[in-house]
Amino acid sequence: MQRLKTAFFTFLCLFLATGYLQAATTLMPSAPQVSATSYLVMDADTGKVVLSDKADERFAPASLTKMMTSYIVEYELDKGNIGKDDLVLVSEKAWRTPGSRMFIKEGTQVKLDDLLKGIIIQSGNDASVAVAEHIAGSESAFADLMNQHAKLLGMDNTHFANATGLPAEGHFSTAMDLAILAKAIIQKFPEHYGIYSEKYYTYNQIRQPNRNKLLWRDHTVDGIKTGHTEEAGYCLVASAKRDGMRLISVVMGTNSEESRAQESQKILAYAFRYFRTHKLYGADELLNTAKVWGGLEDQVHLGLNEALAVTIPRGQADQLEATMDVDKVIKAPVIKGQEYGAVRVTLNGEDVVRVPLVAMENVSEGGILKKIWHTIMLFFMSLIS
């Protein structure tokens, strides 16, 4: 009898301990206190914002502006409109631009590749103006181009007045918009992204360090850009990758170089500790097969336009559920990539994401007799239903 009681007590302890451990995996402390006017942490793959405050409020972005300047350079390089070895003539305006600089000289010609490094690593205002004039003819025309790109990226609360981030009326952005821009820089032009992690750059025999202190403190951080003006305070957009998960952090309006680094570390550490990204389906993965009416083929394969991943609190992956809603009637012709339903992912009954379910191939119309027969069948099916 005593053995039975002991065994039962042991089982009860194990049961309670197991329950406690399972519960503990879902526990999450409140978000950290952040000394910044605005901040945000976003998953770079899913776009999921896991932590934010005043992320849609407009503030002066200071040299974070140069993220768009470098983005446009990378965009134009990718299109073949300009080349890394292009020689850029340095104007008097570029040479005289105040603030941080890479020390290019008026009247000289500088390789575009050097200017791009000067913008990203040294935060050169002179380099930014030189590039703007080279690409668009003038800095004001380049600012118009910056705003066009911002609109295309969905940066709805951003307006640029110059290529540098020097104080100007009507020059503003938000933590959210800057995270969207960072995501585009990382994903669209990976061949250039390595520049953002370089710690030093030497031009004109002047060696300058990258102002992003996290590049020295955290080996998982590999970008992106710092900024500072009296109006904007000290700002930093950082990105780090750990265990296959990449996060983007934005802090705006901190009170020192040290503070922007510490606050960025704080929110990145919290997000990496308590959130996880799970890849659910690949872009070319077959998810369903649906009937096609009046088609040369009787079926069509359905999948996704791009890979699907979700970012959720750690320890909750087993509570994810995915359902597929497929159109009841799919008629030929079927166009590859066209939407014929949706994949819906929920966590504890609440929607996490909903993405289109699309055709993975074309299905042409069938012969006239088949089309007539299927039309008759659909008619009688509609009467029954």
Cα 60 from Cα 54, distance rounded (Å):
13
> Under DSSP, is residue 57 helix (H, G, I), strand (E, B) or coil?
coil
Cα 178 from Cα 190, distance rounded (Å):
18
Find where tokens 């002047």 sit.
206
Cα angle value 181/119/197 (rounded, 5°): 70
DSSP 64: G
Cα angle value 207/211/216 (rounded, 5°): 95
Cα 234 from Cα 61, distance rounded (Å):
9
Other Cβ atoms within 10 Å of 51 Cβ, number? 20
> Under DSSP, is residue 340 helix (H, G, I), strand (E, B) or coil?
strand
> What pairing do the DSSP bridges indicate for beta strands 275-281 and 245-254?
unpaired
- Write the CB contacts of 80 (distance below 8 Å, at least 6 apart in sequence): none
pLDDT of residue 26: 57
Length of the chain: 385
Token reading at 336: 């590859």
Q: How many CA atoms lie within 13 A of 269 on its CB side?
A: 13
pLDDT of residue 221: 98
Cα 131 from Cα 128, distance rounded (Å):
5
**Residue 126, phi then psi, degrees to nearest 5:** -65, -40
**pLDDT tens track, the chain, 385 positions:** 344 333 333 433 443 444 444 444 557 889 899 999 999 999 999 999 999 999 999 999 999 999 999 999 999 999 999 999 999 999 999 999 999 999 999 999 999 999 999 999 999 999 999 999 999 999 999 999 999 999 999 999 999 999 999 999 999 999 999 999 999 999 999 999 999 999 999 999 999 999 999 999 999 999 999 999 999 999 999 999 999 999 999 999 999 999 999 999 999 999 999 999 999 999 989 999 999 999 999 999 999 999 999 999 999 999 999 999 999 999 999 999 999 999 999 999 999 999 999 999 999 998 999 888 888 888 888 887 6
Which segments are annotated as binding site for substrate?
A: 225
Cα 227 from Cα 379, distance rounded (Å):
65
Whether 38-272 shares its CATH topology with 282-383 is answered no
CATH superfamily of 282-383: D-Ala-D-Ala carboxypeptidase, C-terminal domain (2.60.410.10)
For residues 133-148, b (16+ Cβ closer than 10 Å) or e, as one string?
bbbbeebeebbebbbe
pLDDT of residue 253: 98
Domain ranges (residues) in the chain: 38-272, 282-383
| Sign of the dihedral defined by the CA atoms of residues 311, 315, 319, 321, in that order | positive
The closest of 188, 212, 182, 185 to 198, measured between CA atoms, is 212
Bridge partner list, 206? 203
Is 150 in contact with 158 (CB distance < 8 Å)?
A: yes
Other Cβ atoms within 10 Å of 338 Cβ, number? 13
Bridge partner list, 363? 334
Active-site positions read: 63, 66, 123
The closest of 237, 128, 253, 129 to 180, measured between CA atoms, is 237
Q: What's 38-272's CATH class? A: alpha beta
DSSP assignment of 82-106 equals S-TT-EEEPPHHHHH--SS-----T
